[in-house]
């Protein structure tokens, strides 16, 4: 644990870029009085409200649940609101901030996430339920719920997407965030069309474009594992038919209690 | 059938063949010359092994190159054409390589 | 300026649970052209931060027989008697509201609840489960049966994602990152809104047959708050400025377990799952204040108890402003399964692992009971008599139906946002399909708002927005917080008036058009100043203690004079004009009682 | 650029992969001369048996073993669910590749000296 008590002035070096005015991005330094427990987001707030109102970034929840504030901090993607300043400044008393890489910059730390959301939409993130809807809830076992744990905790912050080397090269690739979502739907016993979903992802811009770079795992501020989801989807894609049949069988019991073990 | 699968399977095949190849051909004190190779290739089993090796290495190399190229955004849209190009190169190289292996025979 | 006008059948402001439910339901029920505007991306809405659960009587679990009210829970075997009922849920909610909730609305809330939760489940929401595969339920403060349906401790996130996906599926059009700055009401008819496209800075008018607000709460008026930066009460302020009334604004809920100094929520589920509150001496002090419900008493009571402990010097941490939330006895497995996010939060921000150490907490501003008064179908009331504003709807935290009265019970607000969002959606669909007209806009609101922005830019005064906001927050926390009194409230009102004057001399540092968040923060500050005045004025007038409104100079509830809702209109002089509206009570079923836990 | 062990391994794998493809075609061309009979073959082969080429052969060995072991690592990740061990696997692949390069390189090097001498 870092010593939180050291109050000192630190340098926050921010990549600035407003395409309306600037030809290319440049770095600008700000001095911030570090207080106890200050996060990177607090430091940005201090700069924006007291020093330079034009420093621009997204934020909302302040505690790592809304996914707005993902940015590049000292060369790593993470959430500004969940990163203590003191952990990043080191003995140089300096932290470098920039926008998520590989995405067009709108202004300073704000990036254009159009492709990110398009890819999310492409995997049809909604559940496709069976025709036969019970009066009460579908029955799901604890194990089935646990399998969706990771995918369901994803806050769509894009840290994974914009750390992925393949995304850097090729925007056709659907991306780890969307594949994690797809995984969630494919694995959900209530989903009617896992076969179709797998078929849709079975192309050159789907699960096979991932080169197992693992950056997505390293970047994810929620500690999720998109790579594992992708590997699972790859394997399932090869036995779609069988998987579809298993699902059909499982769906016949969706209205019934899970048998006791 | 997916490029990805081709590449993974050929990689597994290569693990096997390449190890053999490295040991029997490239590992000292083996001295590469026509006669030395001929000694081995006289055996049709070795001929088959080498042809399979050739096949897997070509599949792996060409799918690999294809992946590297189609990873680039702009090339991605031409991937059909690139796949055909790779297939053609593969066939030519395979014929050429197979002829080479065939060439190691005792003069009749 | 025609190119500045966008036209839709329905425009919904706010993409949290309430707004998205309304839009999705309207679209599902035959309204083709529904648009949602949100100042942040829909999935960033604050609904996603909710942790604990959503209430509904499902009767899936019960306390193990013979273990008492706080014993372990088990699933109810098929065929065996239910433990929970609509009446019980209603009673808990009414008692929680300190009898200020409208009981007809509460009845609707409670009866629609199971259906809404089951609909969530059918739409793909992943709930935690009982062993036989039903939705798992846990206890929550003020609820006398386990009826919080949850997905670990990220219930809001899962619900929000689910409903957003459904809205996408139903082809609702999203305008993401559009900041709505003005509501157009002419002759008591809502005709549209004015918004800034944040990306370009362009100000545009969006006209519609029906306008709906689901803009969320106003917790940012307080210094220590669990609320997001985005919760600046824009909706209430805009409605108020446009002439609509606000109801019961003085009721602001403080949550007992905000993370010490940060205010982030340690969900009530921590206590629902069995966590203790302890003071400096290691005592479970709640035994003094609510011997029966202990930590699971309603929030206003627990927060007040905490504040009393703190004021009497039994607080922890160096400034004595904290207390401990002890979950160690729950064990690693339970914490990891049911409270993983909370554990992460405490580790990240307080460097404390809840598995091994008690977590320092303090009360934090959390929920806005008050808001825009509506009917149970989301139609906005124009006055205390019950007339409506034509074509204007509201639901969720921005609205006041009122189901929470003077104090909300945990898990009832996700429910409220969903139930009344959905009902508003149906009402909007009926309204539009029933031949609603697209009324013309006679004034030039785009020009007006343009001028306002230009004025802010040109102003270039000496005041920084942040200094004003910080002073406001400190004032609100210290003088209009958990405990209030006449002197403090008067001084708070003075301060707010002074700050409103100072606001005229502010400087906006960023004057560019592209993604100008400096501008939106300035507009938000203006909104904070607007509705804070209403909160304080309402609190000053209400000379009693009820629910979350606790006057040290009037410590008793006074049903004789105050069993009524506060309604505030913006007067000619720009100051709030208060009037009062009766509470709907089922006298035969739930007559007012003393509130003891 | 986003640099991690994952990226480094990816980059090296790519680099060695492309190098190996180039080598492969050169190699095919060289031994392809066998169709012209022993003399042509031996002549062309001798041209690539100079010390420079022998040194390059060591580099080739390094490339092959690195590529192969990093590839094995990916195959392991694909067929077994071991993403948690991605970093250890990378270091392991790297170390094994280094050892094999040295182990194979020394004889090659000696062989080269021998051939030269
Ligand atoms: C930390 C926390 C935990 C909670 N946990 C629980 C719980 O466990 N159970 C429970 O029942 N309740 C809980 N609540 C309360 C509950 O989450 C909220 O009351 C509810 O989610 C409100 O939903 P909403 O749809 O009304 O608003 P929100 O989800 O806040 O959405 C507001 C929307 O309005 C938009 N908006 C606002 N202003 C503008 C503008 N000017 N222009 C354009 N768009 C605008 C925003 O972008 C956003 O999309 C919790 C609250 C907090 C703060
Ligand atoms: C035992 C031997 C080998 C194994 C196990 C192996 C394994 C792999 C694997 C698993 C990949 C896929 C990487 C990905 O998905 O991103 C790959 C890619 C590749 N391989 Fe091999 N390989 C071997 C030998 C070779 C040889 C001999 C060549 C050259 C002729 C070669 C050329 C390539 C190329 C060009 C790529 C594409 C580059 C990339 O995608 O990163 N490989 N290899
Ligand atoms: S997987 Fe992780 S990094 Fe990627 S979007 Fe989801 S939360 Fe963010
Ligand atoms: S970083 Fe990218 S390449 Fe695959 S493993 Fe993650 S998606
Ligand atoms: S501000 Fe919400 S994740 Fe950081």
Is A261 inside a domain boundary?
no
End-to-end CA distance of chain D: 47
For chain B, which residues make up each domain, given as ranges? 3-26+33-103
Looking only at the bridges linking them, the beta strands covering C399-400 and C372-373 are parallel
Distance A65 CA to ligand 5 centre (A): 6
Dihedral angle, C-alpha C447, C448, C449, C451, nearest 10 ° = 80
Dihedral angle, C-alpha C542, C544, C547, C549, nearest 10 ° = 50
Q: Is C194 helix (H, G, I), strand (E, B) or coil?
A: strand
Same domain, yes or no, for A93 and A131? no
Tokens standing for residue A166: 């393949």
Task: For chain D, give percent helix, strand, coil, nearest 5.
Answer: 90, 0, 10
Q: Where does the pLDDT of residue C3 fall: very low under 50, low under 70, confident under 90, or very high at 90 and above?
A: low
Is A158 inside a domain boundary?
yes
pLDDT beyond 70 at B1: no
Active site residue C423: no
- Helix B79-103 to helix B44-70 angle (10° resolution) is 160
Same domain, yes or no, for A50 and A104? yes
pLDDT beyond 80 at A5: no
> For residue range B44-53, what is the model confidence (pLDDT) as tens digits?
888 899 999 9
The residue out of A77, A111, A145 marking a domain boundary is A111
The residue out of A111, A129, A154 marking a domain boundary is A111
> For residue range D49-96, what is the model confidence (pLDDT) as tens digits?
777 877 888 888 899 999 999 999 999 999 988 889 888 999 999 999
Q: How many angstroms separate the CA atoms of C565 and D82, rounded?
A: 60
CB-facing half-sphere around the CA of A230: CA atoms within 13 A = 28
The shortest C-alpha distance from D85 to chain B (Å) reads 20
Same domain, yes or no, for A39 and A135? no
pLDDT beyond 90 at B23: no
Distance A179 CA to ligand 4 centre (A): 10
Is A65 inside a domain boundary?
yes
DSSP code per residue over A183-228: HHHHH-TT-S-HHHHHHHHSSTTTGGG-----HHHHH-TT---HHH
Cβ-based contacts of C512 with chain A (< 8 Å):
18, 20-21, 54
> Residue B95: closest CA among chain D residues belongs to which residue?
D32
Q: Is C101 helix (H, G, I), strand (E, B) or coil?
A: coil
Cβ-based contacts of B78 with chain A (< 8 Å):
none
Q: How many angstroms separate the CA atoms of B59 and A90, rounded?
A: 49
Nearest Cβ partner for A163 among D2, D74, D78: D2
Tokens standing for residue C397: 């935290």
Same domain, yes or no, for A227 and A146? yes
Distance D18 CA to ligand 2 centre (A): 9
The residue out of A111, A138, A155 marking a domain boundary is A111
Same domain, yes or no, for A118 and A245? yes
Q: Determine the structural domain holding residue A18 and report its residue range.
A: 8-111
Cβ-based contacts of A77 with chain D (< 8 Å):
2
Residue with the smallest CA separation from ligand 3 atom 3 is A220
Greatest alpha-carbon pair distance for chain B in Å reads 54
CATH level 3 topology of B3-26+33-103: 3 helical TM bundles of succinate and fumarate reductases (1.20.1300)
Q: Which residue bears the tokens 């959430």?
A: A79
**Count of CB atoms within 10 A of residue C387's CB?**
10
DSSP-H helix ranges across A90-193:
114-122, 142-147, 149-153, 165-169, 176-187
Q: How many angstroms separate the CA atoms of C250 and C533, rounded?
A: 10
| CB within 8 Å: C126 and A152 | yes
How far is C-alpha C590 from the chain's CA centre? 25
Query: Looking at residues C416-431, what average pLDDT do you find?
Result: 98
The shortest C-alpha distance from A96 to chain C (Å) reads 21
pLDDT at A1: 41
Top-confidence range, A2-16, A79-93, C518-532: C518-532
0.80 surpassed by pTM: yes
Same domain, yes or no, for A241 and A187? yes
CA nearest neighbour of B101 among B40, B55, B50, B53:
B50
Same domain, yes or no, for A106 and A138? no
pLDDT at A2: 44
Q: Which residue bears the tokens 């805009």?
A: C238
Q: Where does the pLDDT of residue D5 fall: very low under 50, low under 70, confident under 90, or very high at 90 and above?
A: confident
**Chains C and B touch each other (3 or more Cβ pairs < 8 A):** no
Which of C299, C343, C422, C423 is an active site residue? C299
CATH code of the domain covering residue A77? 3.10.20.30
Query: Looking at residues C213-227, what average pLDDT do you find?
Result: 95
Closest ligand 5 atom number to CA of residue A64: 3
| CB within 8 Å: B34 and D49 | no
Distance C138 CA to ligand 3 centre (A): 28
Q: Which helix (H) or strand (E) holds C107?
A: helix C103-122
Query: Looking at residues C266-278, what average pLDDT do you find?
Result: 91
Is A120 inside a domain boundary?
yes
Tokens standing for residue C467: 């200094």
Q: For chain A, which chains pass the contact test of at least 3 CB pairs under 8 Å?
A: B, C, D
The shortest C-alpha distance from A202 to chain B (Å) reads 8
> For residue range A45-75, what is the model confidence (pLDDT) as tens digits?
999 999 999 999 999 999 999 999 999 999 9
- Structural domains of chain A, count: 2
Tokens standing for residue C264: 């982030």
How far is C-alpha C498 from the chain's CA centre? 28
Cβ-based contacts of D61 with chain B (< 8 Å):
22, 26
**Across chain A, what does the average pLDDT equal?**
93
CA nearest neighbour of C48 among A68, B51, A236, B97:
A68
The interface predicted TM-score of the complex, written ipTM, equals: 0.93
pLDDT beyond 80 at D35: no
| CB within 8 Å: B2 and A169 | no
Same domain, yes or no, for A186 and A159? yes
DSSP-H helix ranges across C463-566:
465-479, 486-503, 517-541, 559-562
Same domain, yes or no, for A103 and A119? no
Q: Where does the pLDDT of residue B108 fall: very low under 50, low under 70, confident under 90, or very high at 90 and above?
A: low
The closest ligand to the CA of A225 turns out to be 3
CA nearest neighbour of C13 among C166, C169, C189, C182:
C182
Q: Where does the pLDDT of residue C2 fall: very low under 50, low under 70, confident under 90, or very high at 90 and above?
A: very low
Residue with the smallest CA separation from ligand 3 atom 8 is A157
CATH code of the domain covering residue A241? 1.10.1060.10
Cβ-based contacts of B70 with chain A (< 8 Å):
170, 204
Closest ligand 3 atom number to CA of residue A155: 7
CA nearest neighbour of C24 among C204, C171, C220:
C171
Distance C216 CA to ligand 1 centre (A): 4
> For residue range C108-126, what is the model confidence (pLDDT) as tens digits?
999 999 999 999 999 999 9
Q: How many angstroms separate the CA atoms of C295 and C289, rounded?
A: 10
Q: How many angstroms separate the CA atoms of A161 and A215, rounded?
A: 9
Q: Where does the pLDDT of residue A6 fall: very low under 50, low under 70, confident under 90, or very high at 90 and above?
A: low
8 A C-beta contact, residue C48 and residue C157: yes
| CB within 8 Å: C514 and A19 | yes
Q: How many angstroms separate the CA atoms of A51 and D112, rounded?
A: 67
Pick among C517, C519, C523 to test the A interface (most A CBs inside 10 A): C517
pLDDT at B106: 65
| CB within 8 Å: B99 and D71 | no
CATH number of D2-116: 1.20.1300.10
| CB within 8 Å: A227 and D1 | no
8 A C-beta contact, residue C447 and residue C80: no
Distance B12 CA to ligand 2 centre (A): 10
pLDDT beyond 90 at C559: yes
pLDDT at C67: 80
| CB within 8 Å: B73 and A211 | no
8 A C-beta contact, residue C423 and residue C112: yes
For chain D, which residues make up each domain, given as ranges? 2-116
pLDDT at A56: 97
Q: Where does the pLDDT of residue D117 fall: very low under 50, low under 70, confident under 90, or very high at 90 and above?
A: very low
Same domain, yes or no, for A33 and A118? no
Closest ligand 1 atom number to CA of residue C235: 38
> Residue A206: closest CA among chain B residues belongs to which residue?
B4
Pocket mutation for ligand 2, best pick of A211, A214, A215, A234 (most atoms within 8 Å of C-beta): A211
Q: What is the DSSP letter of C129?
A: B
**Residues 43 through 102 of chain D touching chain A, CB cutoff 8 Å:** 74, 77-78, 81, 83, 86
Q: How many angstroms separate the CA atoms of D7 and D9, rounded?
A: 5
> For residue range A189-225, what is the model confidence (pLDDT) as tens digits?
999 999 999 999 998 899 999 999 999 999 999 999 9
């Amino acid at each position: 644990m870092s010593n939180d008590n050291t109050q000192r002035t630190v340098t926050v070096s921010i990549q600035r870029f407003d395409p309306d005015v600037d030809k290319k991005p440049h770095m600008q330094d700000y001095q911030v009085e570090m207080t106890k427990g200050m996060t990177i987001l607090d430091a940005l707030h201090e700069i924006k409200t007291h020093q330079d109102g034009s420093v621009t970034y997204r934020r909302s929840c302040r505690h790592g649940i809304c996914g707005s504030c993902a940015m590049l901090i000292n060369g790593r993607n993470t959430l500004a609101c969940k990163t203590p300043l003191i952990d990043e400044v080191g003995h140089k008393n300096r932290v470098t901030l920039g926008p998520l890489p590989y995405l067009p910059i709108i202004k300073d730390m704000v990036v254009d996430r159009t492709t990110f959301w398009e890819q999310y939409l492409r995997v049809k993130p909604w559940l496709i339920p069976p025709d036969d809807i019970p009066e009460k809830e579908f029955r799901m076992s604890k194990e089935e719920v646990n399998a969706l744990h990771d995918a369901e905790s994803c806050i769509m912050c894009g840290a994974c997407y914009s750390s992925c080397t393949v995304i850097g090269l090729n925007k056709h690739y659907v991306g780890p965030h969307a594949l994690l979502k797809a995984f969630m739907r494919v694995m959900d016993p209530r989903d009617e069309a896992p076969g179709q979903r797998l078929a849709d992802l079975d192309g050159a811009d789907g699960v096979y474009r991932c080169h197992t770079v693992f950056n997505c795992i390293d970047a994810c501020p929620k500690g999720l594992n998109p790579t594992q989801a992708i590997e699972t989807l790859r394997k399932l894609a090869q036995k779609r038919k069988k998987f579809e049949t298993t699902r059909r069988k499982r769906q016949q019991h969706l209205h019934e209690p899970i048998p006791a073990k | 059938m997916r490029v990805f699968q081709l590449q993974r399977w050929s990689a597994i095949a290569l693990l096997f063949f390449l190890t053999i190849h490295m040991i029997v051909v490239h590992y000292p004190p083996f001295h590469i010359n026509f006669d030395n190779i001929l000694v081995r290739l006289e055996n049709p089993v070795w001929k088959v092994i080498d042809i399979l090796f050739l096949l897997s290495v070509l599949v792996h190399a060409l799918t690999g190159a294809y992946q590297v190229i189609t990873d680039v955004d702009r090339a991605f849209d031409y991937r059909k054409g690139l796949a055909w190009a790779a297939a053609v190169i593969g066939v030519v190289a395979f014929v050429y390589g197979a002829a080479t292996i065939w060439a190691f025979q005792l003069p009749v | 300026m025609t190119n500045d006008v966008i036209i839709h059948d329905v425009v919904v402001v706010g993409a949290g649970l309430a707004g998205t439910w309304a839009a999705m339901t309207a679209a599902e029920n035959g309204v083709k052209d529904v648009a949602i505007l949100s100042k942040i991306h829909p999935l960033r809405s604050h609904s996603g931060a909710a942790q604990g659960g959503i209430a509904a009587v499902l009767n899936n679990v019960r306390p193990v027989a013979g273990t008492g009210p706080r014993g372990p829970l088990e699933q109810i075997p098929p065929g065996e008697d239910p433990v929970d009922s609509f009446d019980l849920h209603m009673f808990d909610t009414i008692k929680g509201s300190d009898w200020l909730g409208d009981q007809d609305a509460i009845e609707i809330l409670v009866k629609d609840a199971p259906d809404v939760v089951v609909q969530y489940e059918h739409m793909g929401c992943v709930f935690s489960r009982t062993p036989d595969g039903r939705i798992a339920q846990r206890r929550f403060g003020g609820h006398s049966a386990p009826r919080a349906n949850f997905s670990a401790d990220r219930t809001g996130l899962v619900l929000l994602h689910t409903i957003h996906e459904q809205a996408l599926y139903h082809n609702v059009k999203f305008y993401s990152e559009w900041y709505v700055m003005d509501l157009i009401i002419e002759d008591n008819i809502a005709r549209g809104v004015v918004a800034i496209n944040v990306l370009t800075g362009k100000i545009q008018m969006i006209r519609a047959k029906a306008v709906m607000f689901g803009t969320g709460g106003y917790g940012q008026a307080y210094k220590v708050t669990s609320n997001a930066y985005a919760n600046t009460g824009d909706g209430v302020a805009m409605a108020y400025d446009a002439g609509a009334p606000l109801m019961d604004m003085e009721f602001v809920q403080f949550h007992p377990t905000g993370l010490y100094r940060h205010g982030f929520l340690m969900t009530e589920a921590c206590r629902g799952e069995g966590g203790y509150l302890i003071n400096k001496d290691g005592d479970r002090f709640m035994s003094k204040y609510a011997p029966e419900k202990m930590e699971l008493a309603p929030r206003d009571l627990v927060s007040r108890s905490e504040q009393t402990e703190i004021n009497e010097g039994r607080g922890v941490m160096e400034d004595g402003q904290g207390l401990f939330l002890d979950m160690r006895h729950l064990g690693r497995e339970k914490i990891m399964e049911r409270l993983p996010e909370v554990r992460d939060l405490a580790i990240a921000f307080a460097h404390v692992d809840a598995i091994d150490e008690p977590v320092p907490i303090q009360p934090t501003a959390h929920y806005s009971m008050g808001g825009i008064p509506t009917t149970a179908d989301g139609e906005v009331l124009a006055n205390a008599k019950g007339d409506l504003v034509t074509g204007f709807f509201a639901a969720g935290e921005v609205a006041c139906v009122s189901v929470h009265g003077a104090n909300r019970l945990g898990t009832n607000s996700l429910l409220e946002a969903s139930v009344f969002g959905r009902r508003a959606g149906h009402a909007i669909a009926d309204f539009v399909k029933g031949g609603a007209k697209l009324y013309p806009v006679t004034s030039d609101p785009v020009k007006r708002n343009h001028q306002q922005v230009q004025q802010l830019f040109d102003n270039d005064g000496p005041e920084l927005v942040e200094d004003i906001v910080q002073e406001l927050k400190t004032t609100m926390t210290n003088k209009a917080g958990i405990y209030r009194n006449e002197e403090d409230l008067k001084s708070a009102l003075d301060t707010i008036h002074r700050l409103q004057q100072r606001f005229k001399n502010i400087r906006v540092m960023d004057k560019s058009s592209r993604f100008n968040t400096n501008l939106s923060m300035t507009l938000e500050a203006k909104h904070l100043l607007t509705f804070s005045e209403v909160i304080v004025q309402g609190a000053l007038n209400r000379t009693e203690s009820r629910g979350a409104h606790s006057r040290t100079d009037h410590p008793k509830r006074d049903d004789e004079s105050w069993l009524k809702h506060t309604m505030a209109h913006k007067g000619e002089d720009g100051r709030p004009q208060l009037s009062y509206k009766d509470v709907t009570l089922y006298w035969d079923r739930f007559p007012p009682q003393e509130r003891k836990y | 650029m986003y640099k991690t062990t994952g990226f480094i391994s990816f980059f090296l794998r790519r680099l060695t992969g492309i190098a190996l493809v180039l080598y492969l075609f050169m190699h095919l061309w060289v031994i392809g001369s066998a169709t012209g009979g022993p003399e042509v073959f031996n002549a062309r082969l001798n041209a690539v048996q100079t010390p420079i080429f022998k040194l390059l052969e060591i580099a080739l060995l390094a490339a092959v073993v690195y590529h192969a072991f990093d590839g094995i690592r990916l195959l392991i990740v694909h067929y077994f669910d071991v993403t948690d061990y991605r970093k250890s696997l990378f270091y392991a692949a790297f170390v094994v590749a280094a050892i094999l390069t040295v182990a194979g390189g020394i004889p090659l090097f000696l062989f080269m000296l021998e051939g030269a001498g």
